[in-house]
């Protein structure tokens, strides 16, 4: 059981480049979300999805796009990378049970030069 | 405005003693959930404990308990008999309703706990 899989684990970009962080889960979870973690800031919600075809902005959505065409996949796109987007990115998923705890991927360390 | 506030950036505790990590939250939802997650130096996120807003009893999971005071909007984590392996970052989180239906989960800034031998 793979759980939540994020790729790549590490990435270095130049300012202005675009890229997509991949996230896939095999648990048939309806809910998926992207967070970024910066020192002293905790995890901040970028975008989230409550099901295929439905996405919404979180706390820090600027500079990021998402789509949810399938239940399994929730890619995060950086359209034009900026140094301020240097961070660790976590994807998480959850099912609609009583607790709704998050299952996390292992994270992507992104550096934008 | 911060919805989840963790006022202790860092905490020290002696091994085998108990420690309380503070968390206050702000929401207008009647139904919500509160979580604590642990992040060791390896970077993984580990679920520790959950408290629902309608749960009358404080949640407990082994050495972890959640001191839930609804009127004060606080959800403090208590770790009893601290162990060296408890040294980690601890995040308080809240699940609340989302604009699109369903829910979203937001986190506090975290508290770094150091357990001394």
Query: How close, in Å, is residue B45 to chain A by CA atoms?
Result: 6
A2-14 pLDDT, tens digit per residue, is 899 999 999 999 9
- In this complex, is the C-beta atom of B91 within 8 Å of any C-beta atom belonging to chain A? yes
Residue A90, pLDDT score: 98
**pLDDT exceeds 70 at position A1:** no
Assign A46 to helix, strand or coil: strand
Mean pLDDT value across residues B28-52: 95
B chain contacts of residue A54, beta-carbon cutoff 8 Å: 100-101
pLDDT the model gives residue B1: 59
| Candidates B10, B51, B89, B104, partner chain A, best to mutate (most A CBs within 10 A) | B104
The confidence score (pLDDT) of residue B99 equals 80
> Which residues fall within 8 angstroms of residue B17, CB to CB, at 6 or more apart?
B81, B82
* 3-class state of residue A85 by DSSP: helix
Q: Which of A54, A66, A101 to mutate to test the interface with B (most CBs of B within 10 A)?
A: A101
For range B8-31, the mean pLDDT: 96
- pLDDT at A39 (0 to 100): 81
Q: Does B68 touch chain A (CB under 8 A)?
A: no
pLDDT at position B38: 98
- Residue of chain B minimizing CA distance to A89: B43
Summarize pLDDT for A18-45 with one digit per residue, the tens.
Answer: 999 999 999 999 999 999 999 878 999 9
With a cut of 70, say whether residue B2 has pLDDT above it: no
Look at A106 and B110 and tell me if their CB atoms are within 8 Å.
no
Q: Indicate whether A95 pLDDT > 80.
A: yes
Name the average pLDDT for chain B: 95
Partner-chain residue, chosen from A51, A102, A106, that has the shortest CB–CB distance to B105: A102
Beta carbons of A54 and B99 less than 8 Å apart: no
Q: In this predicted model, what pLDDT tens digit does every residue of B72-110 receive, in sequence order? A: 999 999 999 999 999 999 999 999 988 877 889 999 999
A84 dihedral zone (left: phi>0; alpha: psi -120 to 50; beta): alpha
Which whole-number Å values give the CA distances from B102 to A3, A31, A47, A78, B57, in the listed order? 21, 8, 14, 26, 25
> Is a pLDDT exceeding 90 seen at residue A94?
yes
Work out whether the CA dihedral A60, A5, B47, A31 comes out positive or negative. positive
According to the model, what pLDDT value does residue A100 have?
A: 83
- Note whether B67 and B58 are within 8 A (CB): yes
- Cβ distance of B43 and A107 shorter than 8 Å: yes
**Closest Cα in chain A, distance from residue B89 (Å):** 9
Q: Residues of A with CB below 8 A from B33's CB?
A: 99-100
């Amino acid at each position: 059981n793979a759980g939540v899989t994020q790729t790549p684990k590490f990435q270095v970009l130049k300012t202005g480049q675009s890229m997509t962080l991949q996230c896939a889960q095999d648990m048939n979870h309806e809910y998926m979300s992207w967070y970024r973690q910066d020192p002293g800031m905790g995890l901040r919600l970028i975008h989230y999805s409550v099901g295929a075809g439905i996405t919404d902005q979180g706390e820090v959505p600027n500079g990021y796009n998402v789509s949810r065409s399938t239940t399994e996949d929730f890619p995060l796109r950086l359209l034009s990378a900026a140094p301020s987007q240097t961070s660790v990115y976590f994807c998480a998923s959850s099912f609609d049970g009583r607790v709704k705890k998050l299952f996390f991927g292992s994270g992507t360390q992104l550096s934008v030069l | 405005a911060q919805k989840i506030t963790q006022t202790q950036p860092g905490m020290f505790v002696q091994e085998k003693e108990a420690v309380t990590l503070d968390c206050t939250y702000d929401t207008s939802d009647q139904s919500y959930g509160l979580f604590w997650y642990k992040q060791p130096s390896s970077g993984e996120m580990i679920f520790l404990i959950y408290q629902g807003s309608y749960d009358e009893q404080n949640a407990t999971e082994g050495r972890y308990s959640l001191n839930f005071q609804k009127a004060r909007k606080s959800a403090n984590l208590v770790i009893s008999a601290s162990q060296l392996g408890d040294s980690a970052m601890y995040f308080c989180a809240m699940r609340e309703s989302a604009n699109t239906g369903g829910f979203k989960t937001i986190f506090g800034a975290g508290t770094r706990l150091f357990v001394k031998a």
